[in-house]
Chains A and B, each alone.
Chain A
Amino acid sequence: MKKLIRARAPWAGLLIALVLAGAPAHAASHREAPLMTLDPAADITDVYAFVSYDDANLSRRPEDRKATLILNVVPGQEPSSGPNYFSFDDNVLYQFKVDNDRDGRDDLRYEVRFKTDVVSPGQFIATLALPPVTSLDGEGSQGLSRKQHYTVTEVRSCGVRCEQRRPLFEGQILSAVPSNIGPRTMPNYDALAAKGVYVDGPTGIRVFAGQRAETFAIDLGAVFDTLNLRVETEPQIPGVRPPLPVQTAAEDADDAKNPFGANSFSGFNINTIAIEVPVARLTRDGRPPVSSTSTIGLYCTTSRQVVTLRSDTSRLDRTRASSFAAALLKGQGGWKQVSRMGNPLVNELITPIGSKDLWNATEASDEAQFLANYRNLAVAQALQLVSGVPVPPNPREDIVRLLTKYAGQDPDPNVGPFSELLRLDLTVPPTAPAMIRRLGPLAHDASGNSTPDPAGFPNGRRPNDDVTDIVVRVAGGPNYIANFVGDGVGIQEKGVTAEFPFLPTPYDGRNRQHKDPGETKN
Chain B
Amino acid sequence: MPILKRFLSSLAAVLACASALAGVCSADTAEGRPDVGSPPAILSPAEVQIGTAERRRDPIQLAIGLTRRARETGDPAYYDRALEALDDVLRSDSHNPDALRVSAWVHMGRHEFAAARRIARRHLAGHPEDAVAWGILGDADMELGRYEEAGAALQAMNDRRPGPAAYSRAAYHSELRGDLQGALELMEMSLAATGPFEVEDRAWLLVQIGHLRDLQGDIGAAEATYRSALGSFPGYHYALAALAEICLRTGRDAEAAEGAQRAIDAAPHAERYLLLADALQALGRERDAAAAEDRFESLALENTGRADNENHDLVLFYLERRPDPGRALAIARREAARRRDVHTLDRLAWALFNNGRQRAAARLMTAILQTGTRDPLIAQHAAAIRAARLRSSG
Contacts and interface: CB of A to CB of B under 8 A. Distances in A.
B132 A36 contact: yes
Contacts of A78: 197
A160 interface: no
B148 A313 contact: yes
A316 interface: yes
B193 A39 contact: yes
Interface size class of B (residues with CB under 8 A): 35 or more
B332 interface: no
B93 to A, nearest CB: 14
Nearest to A317: B370
A479 B359 CA distance: 83
A85 B201 CA distance: 16
Contacts of B242: 24-25
A116 B192 CA distance: 10
B39 to A, nearest CB: 18
Main secondary structure of the interface of A (DSSP, over half): loop
Contacts of A333: 158-159, 162
Interface of B: 10, 13-14, 17, 21, 56, 64, 68, 71, 97-98, 105, 108-109, 111, 127, 129-132, 135-136, 139, 142-143, 147-148, 151-152, 154-155, 158-170, 172-174, 177-179, 182, 185-186, 189, 192-198, 200-202, 204-205, 207-208, 210-211, 214-215, 224, 227-228, 231-232, 238, 241-242, 245, 248-249, 269, 271, 275, 277-278, 281, 286, 289-290, 293, 308-310, 312-313, 316, 319-321, 323, 343, 354, 366, 369-380, 383-384
A370 to B, nearest CB: 14
A4 B56 CA distance: 55
Nearest to B132: A35
Contact of A17 (B147, B177, B249, B372): B249
Interface of A: 1-6, 9, 11-12, 14-42, 74, 76, 78, 81-87, 89-92, 116, 122-125, 128, 225, 304-318, 320-322, 324-326, 328, 330, 333, 336, 338, 353-354, 357-358, 361
A318 B370 contact: yes
Nearest to B74: A26
B152 A84 contact: no
Contact of B13 (A124, A304, A325): A124
Contact of A328 (B71, B143, B179): B179
B372 A325 contact: yes
Contacts of A358: 129
Nearest to A75: B195
A25 B173 contact: no
A4 B105 contact: no
Given A15-B320, A325-B182, 10 more contacts: A24-B211, A29-B111, A34-B164, A37-B164, A37-B201, A309-B170, A311-B148, A313-B148, A354-B127, A361-B161
Contact of B323 (A5, A33, A326): A5
B161 A357 contact: yes
Nearest to A179: B196
A87 B370 CA distance: 41
Contacts of B179: 324-326, 328
B372 A313 contact: yes
A155 B122 CA distance: 43
A21 B249 contact: yes
A83 B98 CA distance: 35
A18 B380 contact: yes
Contacts of A307: 158, 162, 166-167, 170, 186
A480 to B, nearest CB: 25
B111 A30 contact: yes
A304 B163 contact: yes
Given A89-B192, A333-B159, A34 B201 contact: yes
A259 B123 CA distance: 46
Nearest to B307: A30
B321 A3 contact: yes
Contacts of B161: 336, 338, 357, 361
7 contacts: A1-B290, A32-B108, A33-B208, A35-B136, A91-B193, A322-B178, A324-B179
Contact of A27 (B201, B211, B281): B211
Given A125-B14, A313-B147, A314-B148, A85 B196 contact: yes
Nearest to B380: A18
Nearest to A38: B195
Q: Which 5 A-B pairs have the closest CB atoms?
A: A311-B151, A325-B179, A24-B211, A84-B196, A321-B372
A304 to B, nearest CB: 4
A24 B135 contact: no
Contacts of B231: 83, 124
Contact of A15 (B142, B152, B380): B380
A2 B242 CA distance: 23
Contacts of B189: 91
A29 B312 contact: yes
A74 B160 CA distance: 21
A404 to B, nearest CB: 22
A37 B198 CA distance: 8
Contacts of B98: 353
Contacts of A2: 321
A32 B164 contact: no
Interface centre among A15, A42, A307 (most CB of B within 10 A): A307
Contact of B286 (A1, A36, A128, A309): A1
A26 B129 contact: no
B372 A25 contact: no
A380 B194 CA distance: 35
A21 B321 contact: no
B321 to A, nearest CB: 7
B173 A309 contact: yes
A395 to B, nearest CB: 25
A24 B271 CA distance: 11
Given A36-B68, A309-B173, A328-B179, A124 B228 contact: yes
B193 A26 contact: no
A82 B10 contact: yes
Contacts of B127: 354
A512 to B, nearest CB: 12
Contact of A304 (B162, B269, B354, B383): B162
A21 B384 contact: no
A182 to B, nearest CB: 12
A2 to B, nearest CB: 8
Contacts of B147: 311, 313
B178 A19 contact: no
Given A9-B384, A25-B207, A34-B168, A338 B163 contact: yes
A202 B98 CA distance: 52
A28 B172 CA distance: 12
B232 to A, nearest CB: 7
Contacts of B136: 35
